Homo-oligomer: A and B are copies of this chain.
Amino acid sequence: MHIDLNLLFSWGAIAKEYKKNEVVFNEDEFANFYFQIIEGTVKMINLNDEGKEFTQGYFSEGQSFGEPPLLINENYPSAAIAIHDSKIIKLSKDKFLKILDEYPSIQRNLLNLMAKRIHSKAVTTKAIINQKPEYRINAFLKAHKSDLNNDTKQLVYFTRQEIANFTGLRVETVIRELSKMSKLNTVKIINHKIYY
């Protein structure tokens, strides 16, 4: 979902620039703003005690993120960090809630977006719980396939470290598992690049 930029600006939203690796909000911080990406990419992550990173999701151009806590007066369960230089539009919580009230179609879009997110989180959790690294990686690759064309394998634009962060595995495990999978022809690896 995304809300029309002119509408956002007319309600007093401002665009803010974030440098690569800059924090948009932190875990356990209270939610005060609606965020929508104009350009760039943001990741939502959790860090555990040992500093291991788990990625909840990536968001890019045209996408909003971090809405649920706005609706339920909660703190953010994860941190948001720009992974490229990004331009992000911010609107205060109360204005955002007013927009939802005034524009039923926006509220409906948001509802559908939430439904999609829940669905994909259920799928993700299911894959992660399945233990076996191969399942996790496969599920990740399937979920993040841009094109659903089955015939030809497509380049995967994620590093092995990123796949590890998404699947809760370690890089080395991802590497070893991917090379197993390439032997079984589940993926193709050409010149270190992954095709799925």
Contacts and interface: CB of A to CB of B under 8 A. Distances in A.
A46 interface: yes
Interface stretch (A10-18, A66-74, A146-154, A173-181): A66-74
A64 interface: no
A193 interface: no
**Range, interface on chain A:** 35 or more
Given A69-B119, A118-B118, A121-B118, A46 B126 contact: yes
Interface stretch (A34-42, A80-88, A105-113, A184-192): A105-113
A123 interface: yes
A71 to B, nearest CB: 4
Contacts of A56: 122, 125-126
Interface of A: 46, 48-49, 54, 56, 67-72, 74, 77-78, 100, 104, 107-108, 110-112, 114-119, 121-126, 128-131, 135, 168
7 contacts: A48-B129, A67-B115, A110-B111, A124-B125, A128-B128, A128-B129, A128-B168
